Amino acid sequence: MSSYPEILQEIQKMTISDQFKLLDELQKALNQYVEVEDTDEVVSQTEIAESEKAWQDYFAGEDKGIGSSELKNKLFIKNNV
């Protein structure tokens, strides 16, 4: 994989028109992510929407969540895989 300086050097060799096309494509790709305030974390818009829906479902009584034993089992299984 190329390093950032190598990629930047290649971009600078491109025509200004191609640089703007690349910028447009990068903006489209990056617009689906959000930086979490006061952290280095980046979260996709999809994850935010899913989380918000789950939160609303929980408050509306449509999702009762899971019990502590089920959570412990899921965490145990995940940690032992």
**Residue 6 — very low, low, confident or very high, per pLDDT cuts 50/70/90?**
very high
pLDDT of residue 78: 63
pLDDT of residue 81: 59
pLDDT digits (tens, 9 = 90+) for 15-58: 999 999 999 999 999 999 998 889 989 999 899 899 899 889 88
9-45 CB burial, b ≥16 within 10 A, e <16 = eeeeeeeeeeeeeeeeeeeeeeeeeeeeeeeeeeeee
By the 10 Å C-beta count (0-12 exposed, 13-18 middle, 19+ buried), 1 is classed as exposed
pLDDT digits (tens, 9 = 90+) for 57-71: 888 888 777 888 888
pLDDT of residue 3: 96
